[in-house]
Chain A
């Protein structure tokens, strides 16, 4: 298990205006527990402190305050020699791959094993084994310059895994890759996590990546964790503005502008229509909620926005719909009684041209 307790990193920076130095918290008072074998995502916008945080885990950036534990070992208290030994059991992959350009793929994967003083013959076997695990066995004699981005990252992953680490750190490992390649690299990390029971800490600025492979996620904003929890919870019930903003890229949950221009009223007036958004997750997604609604109540349903997706093969989605008719309140009641998150967005006059 990995535990960060009250970790902060302060940089002394020069104020450009006054040219005085002052303290800047790149991360502030971060506490996290990461369960063994899980894939933990850390998401935030550029400059939020993600890289600083992950680099505090393996002490590439020693924290200014706080403590870091990996499987009971306090990383923040190790001697330089012990720290090097501990790092040999932590793999790390990078956005820019950081492969040795004057070593072949074989040489790159062998590198951590040489550091760990493996025997030549054992290195040979291990490199072959791990290369075929990541699907790069045909490229062992190539130099990195000749590989595609996806292949380079596979080499990066193979190198990170070669010495059988307990923990894999990934700093934007897919940010330089196209969507297709990103998917395949993420799937590889997922597979390895399942096969080897490896704990993974993964940093990204894309909710898609979190959705694809993480179990839990922490949202970082201005160096602080604003929200954290299981991925399904964060996706279906985001509480903080920062989280919702990050989610808008994966879940289209906003009305198109042609609607928002009309203006909602907070309260019903006359026979105005009700606009509401529902979020569903899991089994309920398979149920015919909308047709039930129409059948059971005297309402018409007009779907304005619909988005369905899945988080690790559990379906989830959101609907924005406009209800008109006599029994809107009854229908709303019915929806609230189901295991759905329902949000009333407002009311629009019947004559307002939302229906097309």
Chain B
């Protein structure tokens, strides 16, 4: 493989890492509070609020039911307005975040929902307020599930970012399409696939490890 190609692969990898990294950060920063609000306002939550829950839940469902590729196209206008361009890696970050935030919200909600309501009730009986319950009970008890959800989110984002590449988003996906597919350069195609597989493997292993390290609710 020529030095040119190696440089291309490095550049593509860095772009992918950048897109996935930044959109993951946005996804966690907004998805975590979203998930907390969903879980505490739900029917069984500590701050039950049916209108708020229904409203948020519907929005989340809408975003989650739109396939990413369509979301990306649909968001072109607002993207241009936010980052100044509707293509490129910064543009991709907008649609990647928009896809990942509702996903993280649901993942967080379902992790918190799995916590035994008896534990929350015990905290209430001890005089804990809503904020204390969120900080000291829900988040620590739900942490392993949240970490597993984050891991899944990042892996999904790696896949989506390749799709974004097809629409001129840059990164490994872009590379695979332009060189591997359009110019029949099989080595580029294979290299990008290998790099992406390695990235996914790495994230999965680290995520699993963290989830295990933070999980103490099983005997073993």
* Chain A residues near B (Cβ < 8 Å): 58, 60, 83-88, 90, 92, 94, 96, 98-103, 111-112, 114-116, 143-146, 159, 163, 169
Contact = CB atoms under 8 A, between A and B. Distances in A.
Contacts of B217: 101-102, 143-145
B49 to A, nearest CB: 16
B17 interface: no
A115 B126 contact: yes
Contact of B216 (A88, A116, A143): A143
Contacts of B215: 102
Nearest to A93: B122
B195 interface: no
Given A90-B125, A98-B121, 7 more contacts: A84-B129, A88-B126, A94-B118, A98-B119, A102-B215, A102-B216, A115-B126
20 contacts: A58-B125, A60-B125, A87-B127, A90-B125, A92-B126, A98-B118, A98-B119, A98-B122, A99-B119, A100-B140, A102-B217, A112-B126, A114-B136, A115-B127, A115-B132, A115-B136, A116-B127, A145-B220, A163-B126, A169-B125
Closest 5 CB pairs of A and B: A101-B217, A87-B127, A98-B122, A88-B127, A143-B216
B216 A101 contact: yes
Interface of B is mostly: helix
Contacts of B61: none
B3 interface: no
B214 interface: yes
A102 B140 CA distance: 7
Contacts of A85: 127
A332 B12 CA distance: 104
B128 A84 contact: yes
B170 to A, nearest CB: 40
Contacts of B128: 84, 115
A102 B216 CA distance: 5
A92 B216 contact: no
Nearest to A169: B125
B145 to A, nearest CB: 11
Main secondary structure of the interface of A (DSSP, over half): mixed
Contact of A102 (B123, B124, B129, B214): B214
**How many B residues are at the interface, by size bracket?**
20 to 34
Most buried by A among B118, B121, B214, B216: B216
Task: From A83, A94, A98, A143, name the one whose CB has the most chain B CB atoms within 10 angstroms.
Answer: A98
B137 interface: yes
B124 A60 contact: yes
Contacts of B140: 100, 102-103
Contacts of A143: 216-217
Contact of B119 (A90, A100, A112, A114): A100
B219 interface: yes
Contacts of A144: 217
Interface in B193-220: 214-220
Contacts of B144: 102
Contacts of A169: 125
B216 A145 contact: yes
B166 interface: no
A94 B214 CA distance: 25
B116 interface: yes
Nearest to A103: B140
B141 A100 contact: yes
Given A100-B141, A115-B127, A146 B118 contact: no
Residue from B126, B128, B217 having most chain A Cβ neighbours under 10 A:
B126
B60 interface: no
B122 A94 contact: yes
